[in-house]
A = this chain, B = another copy of it.
Amino acid sequence: EEREQADSATDPYADDPPRHPALRVNSQKPFNAEPPSEILTDTYITPSAFFFKRNHLPVPRVDPGTYRLEIQGLPKGPVSLSLADLKSNFPKHTVTATLQCAGNRRLEMNQVKQVKGLNWGIAAISNATWAGARLRDVLLEAGYKPGSKFQHVQFEGLDHDVTGTTYGASIPIRKAMSEEGDVLLAYEMNGEELPRDHGYPVRVVVPGTVGARNVKWLAKIVVSEEESSSHWQQNDYKGFSPGTDWDTVDYKSAPAIQELPVQSAITQPAQGSTVSCSKGELTVKGYAWSGGGREVIRVDVSLDGGKTWNVATLGGAEEGQEAATSPPPGRAWAWKLWELTVPLPAETQELEIVCKAVDNSYNVQPDTMAPVWNLRGVLSNAWHRVKVTVRKD
């Protein structure tokens, strides 16, 4: 008991929640971890315990009874909502949406040339069903008038550093207010209360938008003519040319990342593994997703490093929970799991398996990582390449 208090006094992370031991930890304090990539495509909906955790700061301890969400910047003055207000005054809206960290697959970009950031593998991406109030409904109730001068909606979390600086981010008002934007003030994840690591009691879910704008432990919303002034909006989470280094970078020259580009990766077989050719065929599995509500329409898979290509099967019955119908146009927020079973040529000893996805704007992934390399290691979406050895038996 005394020991715990001492820890809490000296270690701001001492009150962080327990986590599943199978997670691959990239950073303990703050906690950043991804699931083993092999299990990522076992289920269409990622169980919350396995959903990647990306914390910038200690997990705050929030009392749901005294929790308030403050809304500021609108002409009729500030509004304060309790958790009960949020749940009872607005329709509950449910959205299945994939979140991806800007740094997903940074490890591969790091292999080209060193970047700054956590060394994420391919699993800083997960898919969940979120429920809560629509941000649009809440802002309209708080007095937002369509057509007004505001351009951005800023969010502040309850998580803070030792100086009291809180995590913050913003999104364009157009996304926030769109009837098709599906931006949530979510209080449920996969049918339960939000876990503490995912923003209990309330987080923002901005479908189609980089994880960093999906602010957790939401304390405050500010409707503004300006973007968030936070470090993470202004001086982080932006993309630059491969020729830009820490001496020349001008963060003002690039827009904050919002919608992410088309992405895919191979979850099975694992990088560097040995596969059996006893059945004479190989099954390859993975995920594919694109930002901005764009739907993945095709995944191409190569077994020869990109020389020849096969078309994978998207979705399919075995995932069970996957929606049978197409998402509404422009609202494809969730990933598609894919798989391909192909004959293994008899003499094969090694394979370089490659995947690349195409979205419904026919955007594609770049062939290689070096030309999209950037000093912060974000937006790492070149073809995913997995080398395996084939065992004869």
Contacts and interface: CB of A to CB of B under 8 A. Distances in A.
Contact of A366 (B239, B310, B366): B366
Contact of A372 (B258, B260, B364): B364
Report the copy number of this chain in the oligomer: 2
Contacts of A329: 172, 174
Contact of A244 (B311, B363, B371): B311
Interface in A215-261: 239, 241-244, 254-255, 257-261
A292 B243 contact: no
A358 interface: yes
Q: How large is the interface on A (under 10, 10 to 19, 20 to 34, 35 or more residues)?
A: 35 or more
A309 interface: yes
Contact of A239 (B242, B261, B291, B358): B358
Contacts of A254: 297-298
Question: Could you say which of A361, A366, A367 has the most chain B C-beta atoms within 10 Å of its C-beta?
Answer: A361
Contact of A371 (B262, B310, B356, B379): B356
Contacts of A362: 239, 257, 259-261, 379
Interface string A3-24: 0000000000000000000000
Given A300-B243, A360-B255, A379-B362, A371 B309 contact: yes
A367 B366 contact: yes
Contact of A242 (B259, B300, B330): B300
A290 B306 CA distance: 26
Contacts of A308: 242-243
A368 interface: yes
A365 interface: yes
Nearest to A298: B241
Contact of A311 (B241, B361, B363, B371): B241
Interface string A64-93: 000000000000000000000000000000
Contacts of A360: 255, 258-259
A67 to B, nearest CB: 32
Interface string A366-381: 1110011000000101
Nearest to A257: B362
Interface in A324-360: 329-330, 356, 358, 360
Given A306-B371, A356-B371, A363-B363, A311 B259 contact: no
